[in-house]
Structure 1
């Protein structure tokens, strides 16, 4: 059984996340966006080795490098802020998927991230179909989102 909140995560901003101006360093937003979808698939029940390559195993012959990413900062994010992180994955086509991430403080959207991944064969680097487990996670997240909107 899947936990209810595998698409909504929490993160507290730490001193090491911030720059000398006292706000998060820009690169942390994209790092948190990526870590959030990693954590989400973990909570959902997909073993990391089914998605991320393991050099010691030939089980996963697919890699999913980032081909596009962007971040938008809407309000300062400071040390001590407790953020809710909501992720919205979607399939773009047979080999591309996108994860939109919204960072909220006190229910107010303070930042957004977008990461697009491409599914490639690890040896040939040719585009291949997204892994089945990943497709199920994307599909389930869209069903979960659509049910809340009804």
Structure 2
């Protein structure tokens, strides 16, 4: 599990001062890139050295409690499912240790050497991504 922390900015809120919902998707994307960097695979290096990226296939977020300007937020992210070419990463949003939202992204390990094409996730990457306590591993 990787933790990513940030503070809600004024531009993240709507006229009522509540976080505008698309920002949760932006933060899940940021948390995924933080996760990859934490396991030694920064997205910029992955692309520049291997022409590999992890485009988004699906995203979902369930909101439990609102966030407001200047709230301190922590996102806990972990890979919970892995297929041959695709993985599912879970994101849980916390404010003061209380969960305020949770969601997931499904992403494909994709080569951009020619035209974009999903390819098998290398075994050494799978070992770094998939925690021992994962919910499900699919082959």
The bucket for the TM-score relative to the shorter chain is 0.7 to 0.9
Structure 1 portions without partners, runs of 5+: 1-5
Cα deviation digits, residues 74-97 of structure 1 (max 9, x gap): 111111211121112134311001
Cα deviation digits, residues 87-143 of structure 1 (max 9, x gap): 12134311001111000111111011211101233224333112455423312xx13
Q: TM-score, normalised by structure 1?
A: 0.76
Q: How does 1:19-58 map to 2 (within 5 A)?
A: 19-51=14-46, 53-54=47-48
Q: Partner residue of 1:113?
A: 103
The 3 A distance-change label for structure 1 pair 17 and 132 is: farther
Secondary structure class of the residue paired with 2:23: helix
Q: Which one has the bigger strand percentage?
A: 2
Secondary structure class of the residue paired with 1:110: strand
Maintained 8 Å contact 2:5/2:75: yes
Instruction: Give the one of 58, 64, 69 matched to 1:79.
Output: 69
Structure 2 portions without partners, runs of 5+: 135-139
Q: How does 1:1-150 map to 2 (within 5 A)?
A: 7-51=2-46, 53-54=47-48, 59-122=49-112, 123-132=114-123, 134-139=125-130, 142-143=131-132
Q: TM-score, normalised by structure 2?
A: 0.81
The CA RMSD over aligned residues, in Å, is 2.1
Cα deviation digits, residues 22-64 of structure 1 (max 9, x gap): 111111101111111212322333343443x23xxxx323332
